[in-house]
Amino acid sequence: MGSLQLKSIRKAFGNHEVLKGIDLEVKDGEFVIFVGPSGCGKSTLLRVIAGLEDATSGSVQIDGQEVINTPPAKRGIAMVFQSYALYPHLTVKDNMGLGLKQMGAPKAEVDAKVAKASGMLSLEPYLARRPAELSGGQRQRVAIGRAIVREPKLFLFDEPLSNLDAALRVNTRLEIARLHRSLKATMIYVTHDQVEAMTLADKIVVLNAGQIEQIGSPMELYNKPANTFVAGFIGSPQMNFIEAGRLGDGQAKTVGIRPEHITLSREKGDWKGKVIHVEHLGADTILYLETEVTGLLTVRLFGEHQYDVDDIVYATPDTAAMHRFGADDRVLR
């Protein structure tokens, strides 16, 4: 079991209120990811859940039990940090088993659980090494293994892949997804990386300036953003925002259209413009246009295209995929 309930969590450092009333329900077995711009309070919220930071007010319940006054070690959680936080003088095996050993578990149990976790993470060849003799990816797997060995109710990950190179990030991401499936554990994960959030999460929590902007599955946030903040934050390249009046829409303030929901033609279309930059990414091409109606417009075309800087083109949006936002920046349905 590992459900989590946060009620009205507030946290201030001096006069600076970093969390402004967070309410959140995480079900047993869910994978929940916190995203948001730098400084919005993601890590602070994770640390409040872990008990590494005291909330100024509010309630944290794990499996229905209030833990706000419970020390971190007694909350039944395990945290994996970006910096691995391994003991340099201990071997991989001892790093992984230390938590259980300190809790007084018998040696045979510690050995069995370390063997099982190291099997899941393909760490068997490295058990006798010390952290300095491992690559970054291997160290992060040891940190994850150490969390698994403790069989926590909740796994908390604070940007665990940020120190890894691109290829290793992908591998380790797959490994975390696989672990989540096999352990059926509750995981809460902080990241800057959109791809990680979209691919790993059952539920994404978008935070902004200490408040939740929207909670939803990755595709809900992509297809039905509640406001311009979420619309602009989820999706890369970013959604285009156009002043609604320019499109003759008197009711909305802003119209949003994703770069992949626009087609281009050299002959005809809705918005005439000039190509100002082209990015060939292999599987797709990103074009930046300047059009009279929309101003700067980003267009994403699948495959390779022969458009060049200074070409005159016509862009046509898929009107069914447009998002309309009102004066308060909330979506109009």
Binding string, residues 182-221; x marks residues near ligand ATP by CB under 6 A: ----------x-----------------------------
Q: Which of residues 31-50 bind ligand ATP (CB under 6 A)?
A: 36, 38-44
Nearer to ligand ATP, 39 or 106 (CB): 39
DSSP state, 328?
T
Q: CB of 50: closest distance to ligand ATP in angstroms?
A: 12
Nearer to ligand ATP, 11 or 300 (CB): 11
Bin 248: left if φ > 0, else alpha if -120 < ψ < 50, else beta: left
Binding string, residues 142-181; x marks residues near ligand ATP by CB under 6 A: ----------------------------------------
Nearer to ligand ATP, 192 or 305 (CB): 192
Q: Count residues contacting ligand ATP (CB under 6 A)?
A: 11
- Strand arrangement, sheet containing 31-35: 77-81, 154-158, 186-190, 31-35, 203-208, 211-216
Nearer to ligand ATP, 41 or 225 (CB): 41
DSSP state, 72?
G
DSSP run (H or E) holding 68: none
Q: Which of residues 10-29 bind ligand ATP (CB under 6 A)?
A: 13, 18
Tokens, residue 111: 């050995």
Q: CB of 93: closest distance to ligand ATP in angstroms?
A: 32
The single-letter code of the amino acid at 321 is: A
Nearer to ligand ATP, 183 or 209 (CB): 209
Q: CB of 37: closest distance to ligand ATP in angstroms?
A: 7
Q: CB of 152: closest distance to ligand ATP in angstroms?
A: 21
Q: CB of 16: closest distance to ligand ATP in angstroms?
A: 6
Output the CA–CA distances (angstroms, integers) from residue 104 to 95, 108, 109, 154, 219, in the order listed: 15, 12, 10, 20, 44
Which segments of 44-182 are extended strands (E)?
57-62, 65-66, 77-81, 154-158
Q: For residue 82, state whether it binds ligand ATP (rule: CB under 6 A).
A: no
Nearer to ligand ATP, 98 or 188 (CB): 188
The residue whose two tokens read 């402004």 is 20
Nearer to ligand ATP, 13 or 87 (CB): 13
Q: How far apart are CA 236 and CA 256, in angstroms?
A: 14
Q: Which of residues 98-117 bind ligand ATP (CB under 6 A)?
A: none
Residue 33: other Cβ atoms inside 10 A = 24
The Cα angle at residue 244 between residues 243 and 249, in degrees rounded to 5: 160
> DSSP 3-state assignment of 49?
helix
- Cβ distance 309 to 276 under 8 Å? yes
Residue numbers of the site for ligand ATP (CB under 6 A)?
Answer: 13, 18, 36, 38-44, 192
